[in-house]
Structure 1
Amino acid sequence: MGEKTYQCSQCGKRIDTREAPYHCSNCRNTFELRYLKEQKRVDKSEKVYPCSQCGKSFTELGSLKRHERIHTGGKPFHCTQCGNNFTCLRNLKSHERIHTGGKAFHCSQCGKGLSCLQTMKVHERLHTGEKPYNCCQCGKRFISLGTLKKHEIIHTGEKPYNCTECGKHFAQSGHLKRHERTHTGEKPYNCSHCGKGFAAPGCLKKHERTHTGEKFYQCSMCLKDIYSLREQEKA
């Protein structure tokens, strides 16, 4: 009962003081005890750290710090293989398996290999049709919390991702990243036929059809490009 807990001075995560030197698994820093901030134990249900941007509260400072990166776009964890950046160490570790080929989990339905258990669970819902997350605004259901969160922005109009170059705001981080390429000139998607580079995968797909000869149609209702007549009939 008299056990003390300490907090990483860099990211706020609680540190296990049974290990010496004291290692923070969140930000990879190592400390001596005198550099750690003593922290009183709090009830796990008590959320004492509020976000100054949106008001959402958290039980730990480290959780708040990770959340704040949604608003700031901060991605301090860097992949040494491809240069991609991530908001937390867990996402980086999961991503790194793409390079190592590590796919420890396999779908029981189709055998597809996946790098982490949570990704496999979401994938399996494609087979079962399970959609456990529902929008409280319109009732639409989704297979993952992430897709629900993206959908909810339609109702709130929230645009938490802003471009540091021009200040333009976006509803999704992917949209911000695509926009940022208009400033940097980066074109990471290359055509396998001619090598031409594109800023977005959709632009690459449309270009590749100039090589394959596949036609695309335009929906008469919404003007969206559709790449097969069958899709147009469904629309």
Structure 2
Amino acid sequence: MEFIKEEIEEITDPEPSGIKHEDTEEQIDQMETMEQRHKLNEVDEKHCNLKTQRKKAKKLHVCSQCGKDFCSSSNLKQHLIVHSDERPYVCSLCGKSFTRLDHCKQHQKTHTEVRDHVCCDCGKSFTRAEYLKQHQRIHTGEKPFNCDHCGKGFYVSSNLKEHLKKHTNERHYVCSFCGKSFTWLNSLKQHQKIHTGERDHVCCDCGKSFIRASSLRLHQRIHTGEKPCKCSYCDKSFNHSWSLRVHERVHTGERPYKCSYCDKSFAQSAHLKEHNKRLHTGEKRCTQCGEIFLSSSFLLIHIQKYHDTL
């Protein structure tokens, strides 16, 4: 009987059944892990498909004027205003108009906001600290945004972006009068004023009119006597930056305008043109008596014969 009892206990030993139970739990865990991975893969796949659909959606709304694409038709519609003369958003305080509502709102802040960001070099004030930071680069000469093609530096990134269009030769804006094309819309609008005769920037002091507002501002310095462009070598100052550049060549000795006919060079382009006209092209006038010759060789013979000097 004891032998039979021991045999029954061996048969009913719980250990083997415990091993089978543990094996079953491990298999269930593995199945759950695989199921979770499968679900994650499905989520990733859906996410990738969504990204692809979004990219495709962007390409569905393409500007017919410049090829730029947008993710929605409303954004494209807003962009198309740039290619037209439409400026539907008008400042209620000064009447200035804008193509975009956010630009108009930003402009209106200049009428209402306190301009408490003041430049310590020139006293000009700004509504935002970042505008002051950009402005101060004019005084420091810092140009952190550089062109990869030519190395030219810029104070702000937007100017670099516009400059890069020169290298890609993008000219989407075409003049309806003469067919000349331009990189920027503003350049086209300024050019078309040559055809229409529009000169809407008028000097209130003398009545002289200009195509560009910047030209009017420069002109007004004649009346105000303002000379903000100071020479770094002497005490002289000038109305225009180009006048300063020409003047500083007196100090540096720079003569960038080289004659293509001889070895002479000049500090000013006007002097080079006069030199070419007098000696190499066009009329040849004797500086001694004013007589005109068709070629420089005839003039030389004349000088040697009648003035006995070179």
Measured in 2, the distance between the counterparts of 1:91 and 1:204 equals 32
Cα RMSD (Å) of the superposition? 3.2
Q: Which has the higher strand share?
A: 1
Aligned pairs for 1:205-220 within 5 A:
205-209=273-277, 210-214=279-283
Alpha-carbon offset, residue 154 of structure 1: 0.4
User: 2:126 maps to which residue?
Assistant: 58
Measured in 1, the distance between the counterparts of 2:198 and 2:131 equals 29
Alpha-carbon offset, residue 51 of structure 1: 4.0
1:115-138 Cα offsets, whole Å, 9 max, x none, are 222122111111111112122222
User: 1:38 maps to which residue?
Assistant: none
Alpha-carbon offset, residue 175 of structure 1: 1.2
Measured in 2, the distance between the counterparts of 1:128 and 1:155 equals 28
Where do 5+ consecutive residues of structure 2 fail to align?
A: 1-105, 286-310
Matched, 1:44 2:109: yes
Measured in 1, the distance between the counterparts of 2:165 and 2:262 equals 29
Measured in 2, the distance between the counterparts of 1:104 and 1:165 equals 44
- Of the structure 1 ranges 54-63 and 161-170, higher mean CA displacement relative to structure 2 is found in 54-63
For these two proteins, the number of residue pairs brought into alignment is 174
Matched, 1:172 2:237: no
| SS of residue in 2 equivalent to 1:44 | helix
| SS of residue in 1 equivalent to 2:204 | coil
Q: Percent identity?
A: 48
TM-score using structure 1 length: 0.60
Measured in 2, the distance between the counterparts of 1:111 and 1:141 equals 26
TM-score using structure 2 length: 0.47
CA 1:131–1:96 in 2, change beyond 3 Å: closer, same or farther? Answer: same
1:200-228 Cα offsets, whole Å, 9 max, x none, are 22122212212112479xxxxxxxxxxxx
Instruction: Give the letter aligned to residue 213 of structure 1.
Output: G
Measured in 2, the distance between the counterparts of 1:136 and 1:69 equals 32
Are 1:161 and 1:171, in contact at CA under 8 Å, matched by a contact in 2?
Answer: yes
Instruction: Give the letter aligned to residue 197 of structure 2.
Output: G
Are 1:73 and 1:161, in contact at CA under 8 Å, matched by a contact in 2?
Answer: no
Q: Which has the higher contact order (CA 8 A, sep 6+)?
A: 1
Counterpart selection for 2:187 from 114, 119, 135? 119
Q: Which has the higher helix share?
A: 2
Instruction: List, as ranges, runs of 4+ consecutive aligned residues in structure 1 with deviation greater than 6 Å.
Output: none
Counterpart selection for 1:74 from 125, 138, 141? 141
Alpha-carbon offset, residue 178 of structure 1: 1.7
Are 1:75 and 1:88, in contact at CA under 8 Å, matched by a contact in 2?
Answer: no
Matched, 1:198 2:266: yes
CA 1:205–1:142 in 2, change beyond 3 Å: closer, same or farther? Answer: same
Instruction: Give the letter aligned to residue 177 of structure 2.
Output: Q
Aligned pairs for 1:149-164 within 5 A:
149-164=217-232
- Of the structure 1 ranges 147-156 and 192-201, higher mean CA displacement relative to structure 2 is found in 192-201
